Structure 1
């Protein structure tokens, strides 16, 4: 936790589209935002990596001042929220026309059956997102011109989500026939050593003049920097001037792969593409015509026409052709049975598709759980390491008694079991299994978690005290998850006390509030929270620690809220912070036994 007086003005907030994930966005665009921070030392600047839904939400909420996003997303934001481009990126890979954004359709090099875009009919194609400009929409337009409607003519059109790297790997593994990448992503992955370019081939490959990458489509203007309608004009002018003054060999330009910034280019070709696809600002063009209805439901219309014709003939001949009428009724009955069979098959197909969608939804959780796996396993593995080092020191000093070493090895085994439980629980969560909860004595969970931090507290010279209320009712909770919350909060408190051994200690207290809710407080006397930390304390990947992952408090809040509770940060009057966990008492349960 960091202290410091709040700046007179908030930092300049730049929302950046993280089309290959947050780590890639930080590596590419953080130097540019840092350059702006240096040019505006009185305010500074911060970067917010965002996916497409996050970009839309940030602009709608006004939580950013500027956006740096792809060409198609800018056109949508311009129409929807009135953002205005103030500069266009001049990429180091720009073609002679200045354009540099396009799509590359890739297939495996050994697919001899795929030589042109028209060969994609009845094939499976993977793209990153339906709203990704270079990652799908540009390719969509090119496929339409080649006579392939991706929403009608493909066997299956799938979307992997960000980062775009998944598309190339899916093509390489053969799980899809073709993939859509933003221009130059294939070359970037090859340069990073993440794939062998010889295993891929570009469909309809073309190389525009001055452009170093193979593409399958026309090129469009590069990413714009746009300001929100509420961003002051003076600030926008100052930012543009600062960017225009950046040298083409500046470290920020090298990191971002561009040669500077230029005046806003003409984005009319993007509007033309969106008008052709009837998306974005031109979605209203998707009005259904009679021709569209006929093309979509021709079977039903034909059946209705035949039924009317049959009824007319039947009405004219009913009195004279009783036998013919009987035969026609039998035929109508057979048609009805056929129709019912077709409808039953359609319903079965819809149910199977729903099962596939549910399976994909479950697997999408795996990405989030994989991020927390390393963080959660850190605790038991750290404990195992501490116990093992303790045993080693005692053996080397010749002071290790058998009973003490046996106790330490039992503790190591217990922590190993705990790590296994964490892995099993994450696996169950991916399978969408409900976490088993049971009545839990909160004080016991607190003691178990705090015991892991006592060694560090002693080595840091920080007093670690427990004030556990007696007679607390149990809470309905998962013991391992609650221990994880306590452990994270206590470790954060100890981190906050670094460099302030004389400033007090860390206190852990349990009790009940006026409403009967069971409360856990972890209080430190550290530096407190800065204004930015207060606003983003529970945001994933935000951290004030030099080597922090920024996942601890986000995970803690998710666990507490999953148990029906709340996690909040309270500033102490004498300095420091109290992290308060509130959990509902188990209904109808007795009070827990307290043994000192």
Structure 2
């Protein structure tokens, strides 16, 4: 048909509505075991209206005022033909001086058009109408009366369905964490009304269900998801389920109603409270005369054969309660003025609270940072004090132990003096007794016994001299001879299995010092090097002893190097102040005594790493001045009793395992 206002309305032939299974166009009813349920579009006929504008009717000008009539696209049987089209015709007759523009669109697009005020008259759900009246505003004109409802104020609600064989869901309380499907989150009867019912069993209905799925289509797509087990339950508009069953699209035994409520006002099954149905409304800024003429026109439309009509039902209190809690409308493409006007105070308060929270957070962060810094400083200071106290305790313990050893040494030296003197006398007597025998072995043995006894006596006297403070370290000595003698002493009492010892010496290295003390220092260094070399990672230990000229030319440099395992930084640092010994039988005083001897000789005892592994112990001792050498006692031999150095010829290099021509010591 062609409307007289100039807009063209083209109507396609409707598909025949199946009345039973024998109908040629009927679709087989959906059941839970259907492999591929047929889509709703194939069975639900629709009329398509074009919006192409025709030429204005004769006698009308191009500036004729236009009233835009927005209607939702619906597949509800009879609604379009029996109510919407008659309403359109009634409006055309009521407004001969206006052009009535028909706009049929999806429910979502219609909501956007209403929010953006692109339509003048529109048909929306009672829930969205209540939302508009609370915000941007809307004028009620009429409420739809449907054939299934006896009371237009209790005509629509929500229906919850589940698979008939699913025993998990019987009441609304059973829907906790259930996967639900609905046509749209903007649908008042099939979503908001159900949330209102869920609010009766929980204080947090929005989080009561599992993640919902919105099909954006008719109720048939919701039923399909339930039957295909993609979701557990489906939310429908009341009377939608009965329509699908009547059309043969859903098997009557395939689904069951969850949380069914009885109502005398509605012939359809429902799971929720009932509310007013669709509302015909107008923009609030339309003139009063236009709204009155539109309302009068629609109320004059007679009730259709099926029972559709416009009536008076404007008690929306229950609807407003739901909308106040759950209501919303899409506004991403709409003008924000209405939302800003509605929520401006809340936005201002939110901004103030957010600003205050940010300022408080910054302030608290500053205080926390400052207090944390102070606390870290206090902790660092406490840690430093604890470390200082620990080092002091360790040094005190070392001094106490050294004092005890000193006292014991003095006692032992005093007690050993007489036995050693007796041993020397017996050795001399034995040598005198056997002097006529001419046995070189016996003679060598007696000489060695006497020499070692004299050495023990010298050590005892040295300990006594320490105790009395009479030790003299200004004797002329040769560092090379001392080192070779120390090696001989070291070799006589050490297990050198698997360890190679080599040495390099200068022809002479004159120093001023106590040869016995220096010998003790070198022997202690060799013992420590042997202990490390025994633990060499490759199993082949090596010790090198060298006497060389220092780079400054003013000191002699004696080095003892091993190839033992690498020591960590902590142990390396402890070498300067040794407290404990790594050897099982050690007291931890060897290095301490060595350092004391070095300090008594105005020398320096240094430690450094020998590459990736091993350690080098270096003794730097001043050279003896020439005038000191000239003023010495000469080159005559002196006994070992008083610690005086014998001439080099008195102790041949071969005696120490050295090559006299190269001054190189070697012990495999």
Class of the TM-score when normalised by the shorter of the 2 chains: 0.3 to 0.5
TM-score of the aligned structures, taking structure 1 as reference length? 0.44
**Higher share of residues assigned helix:** 1
Structure possessing the higher relative contact order (Cα contacts under 8 Å, 6 or more residues apart): 1
When Rg is computed on C-alpha atoms for both structures, the one with the higher figure is 2
Return the TM-score normalized by structure 2: 0.39
